[in-house]
Amino acid sequence: MIYRLSFTTKDEWLSVRNTFVLPDEDGNYPSGSIYTAQIVDGTITVREVGHVPYPPEYDEEGNIIKEGGFYTDWAVDIVSDYDLPVSKYIIEDKHWYNEWV
């Protein structure tokens, strides 16, 4: 299963993540843009997408009518064979951030 998640901030994501991802023997949590994380049932793959960009909009003549930018939420994708306690953060209607299918 692929979870597509949206959090208000990165700190919100980290606080949720730390409820089900296990720290290593030194008490550290995995980090990076893509990483494998240990959970009680096994392992998951996490991609912290971050602030997703959106493209500018153009008129018929190619002039920019709306600047591009970034969404304000913190996006995270997870590949897991296990149920995770993240249903509150699942998004259905946003563009896919990566090639995971």
Instruction: Note whether residue 96 is domain-resident.
Output: no
**What pTM, to 2 d.p., does this model score?**
0.81
Instruction: Note whether residue 49 is domain-resident.
Output: yes
Q: Which domain holds residue 60?
A: 2-89
Separation of alpha carbons 89 and 66, rounded Å:
28
Instruction: Note whether residue 55 is domain-resident.
Output: yes
- Does pLDDT of 90 surpass 90? yes
Instruction: Note whether residue 34 is domain-resident.
Output: yes
- Does pLDDT of 63 surpass 90? yes
- Does pLDDT of 69 surpass 80? yes
Instruction: Note whether residue 65 is domain-resident.
Output: yes
Domains in the chain, number: 1
Instruction: Note whether residue 12 is domain-resident.
Output: yes
Look up residue 64 and give its DSSP letter.
E
Name 18's Cβ contacts closer than 8 Å, sequence gap at least 6. Answer: 29
Instruction: Note whether residue 66 is domain-resident.
Output: yes
Instruction: Note whether residue 11 is domain-resident.
Output: yes
Burial of residue 59 (CB within 10 Å: 0-12, 13-18, 19+) is exposed
